[in-house]
Structure 1
């Protein structure tokens, strides 16, 4: 593969698509921005119309279905200023880039790439000032878009300033560049040097990758991951369960196995967010729960550390268990601290795709509410 990766912003330049397909899909690309590159396109089996890589990157008419919201997790409610969100006490989120190396068709931040977006990044210095004055923040997530679309020099300017803030112990970089274009890592030694400089023994840099399917975990991608790991980054992976991509226990298990073999921690399996255009990618919660549990049953303990969760407006909610009649949710992280570890017991709904689709909450409690309180004489 030529290491000079070419970029495509126009469907008409994709030679594997017929003229009829290009014309048929142009309305989708006009509504939701299309972008990809030659490396990622090379992973597609063009003889297979159901190829999972093709499904994730090439527009589909189903995206025009009027379903979902441009801000499905209500990030606007936690926006301090353009580009900065503070939802959980200890975590701040900075949208450092408005670009991605390729744009996933199921992206939950489509609004960032659309003209109507109000999430423009105006002043990084002002964001850093906010973080300096909020000492409860211990970790910062750099996201976007994709932080690794920035030059290493620009990214280092932000990370260097964060490293000067005593209460910031973790810097996370959320990126799909290790998937979309691992040559960004391989061919830029200054990136590894930057990670090595700022990933300290007690103040690590975490890289949160987004491998969705085993076919993305190429030899080249693993080489890029090893460079980041050798530089001192802790690499975790998170991915949504997507219809037609990884909604198969064997596929998901293979992904987690291969990641764990490469030293990457399977971190989250997400319920696909109900973003505008995402209906055809969305697996109902209860079906997705079964897929995740069956996949976890096929892998070792190192690979099954993954948690199945949804990024709801009220917090990170783990889909914890299912019985014949009920499904149990647990707040893995809550915006309202009083909800931390709260468990919701809901009447099952096989068509539910989001927490809001469950009409009946049968019971709500925190684990501590159900604990026995021992009398002093019973502790002896």
Structure 2
């Protein structure tokens, strides 16, 4: 595979290999990579404007010392509690999740599953057959989400074996693939006709593939990324995009609206804006919920209705919770999806807490103010 730099893709895993960094910068950063790994493609690093100390691509991929601040947990959404087999999660009634991507083309500094690249106990799905059998036995499952890591780091042959098995399950309606390949390394898609043929064949079998591509800043939507998006659209894939709200990267109305408008122009439907999970190492990238909601609403003012379909949510242990409003005294949330189906659609109203980064911060505040039941 060829990159725009005219050579085979180079996965860089050592900060010392980045010539644009000074020896002093490398010395500071290397101690961070001993805790949280570093990985990038030469293509993605080429997007950085090294003359801009606040370049958003640099902040997305190059470690910073603040990551070592003690904050959060390795698995803040308790994903392991919904694991029914190695690499298989079943949290929501209609959806099963396969952790099939063993790695990524690059390591986002705010990754909420960085535990997969830190711990010895591997959660990645190795043996597909037990997972396929589980899906077959649970007919309430309508769709399967392939994630990881990044599924597109797998060989096309490996992906083919998985998609072919899923395509034969009658009660499945669609297959979702979560990936950042169009941003990190779009050539993985554009230069692999066999992958595109696989997508086309799977779609023809009636199992519509929805590609959920992560783009965190408008600078990632390059001509190369657009080419990859177009090629996937030509196979019949439905193209979506999602991103977390990230401090110093897209936490302004202007940056968010530009990202969404560029996404719409590229053929992507904005899907979710996520509250940054309180994962170990993520404090420097997190924005308080109420501040984030204000940014979110202001950003939508600069977009057409096509982008306004996006929802601001947090992936809490109990479900996907949408932040739907602020009043002078209260923050209003709703269960968009829930591990307990009885909670879907329930509204929660809490006293405002400008320092809250997660639902649990409001739970503590409710107890302090003796609000017996936050559900309405």
Name the counterpart of 2:175: 171
TM-score, normalization: structure 2? 0.95
Residues 172 and 207, structure 1, Cα contact 8 Å, conserved in 2: yes
| 1:247 corresponds to which of 242, 246, 251 | 251
Q: 1:64-113 CA deviation, whole Å, 9 max, x = no partner? A: 01101000111011001110000001100001121100010100000111
Residues 1:360 and 2:366 are matched in the alignment? yes
Is the alpha carbon distance of 1:124 and 1:242 closer, same or farther for their aligned partners in structure 2, counting shifts above 3 Å? same
TM-score, normalization: structure 1? 0.94
Moved over 6 A (4+): none
Name the counterpart of 1:348: 352
Q: 1:201-260 CA deviation, whole Å, 9 max, x = no partner? A: 853100001001010000110010000001110011010000000001011001101111
- Give the superposition deviation at 1:122: 3.4
Is the alpha carbon distance of 1:3 and 1:139 closer, same or farther for their aligned partners in structure 2, counting shifts above 3 Å? farther
Distance in 2 between residues matched to 1:126 and 1:205, nearest whole Å = 22
Residues 111 and 117, structure 1, Cα contact 8 Å, conserved in 2: no
**RMSD between aligned residues:** 1.2
| 2:232 corresponds to which of 228, 239, 247 | 228
Q: What stretches of structure 2 of length at least 5 have no aligned partner? A: none
Distance in 2 between residues matched to 1:295 and 1:51, nearest whole Å = 20
Distance in 2 between residues matched to 1:170 and 1:121, nearest whole Å = 20
Residues 1:324 and 2:303 are matched in the alignment? no
Q: What stretches of structure 1 of length at least 5 have no aligned partner? A: 367-380
- Give the superposition deviation at 1:116: 3.2
Residues 289 and 354, structure 2, Cα contact 8 Å, conserved in 1: yes
- Give the superposition deviation at 1:199: 1.3
| SS of equivalent to 1:246 | coil
- Give the superposition deviation at 1:33: 1.0
Distance in 1 between residues matched to 2:94 and 2:250, nearest whole Å = 32
Distance in 2 between residues matched to 1:351 and 1:117, nearest whole Å = 34
Name the counterpart of 1:125: 129
Residues 1:209 and 2:213 are matched in the alignment? yes
Alignment map for 1:1-380 (pairs within 5 Å): 1=4, 2=6, 4-200=8-204, 202-358=206-362, 359-360=365-366, 362=371, 364-365=374-375
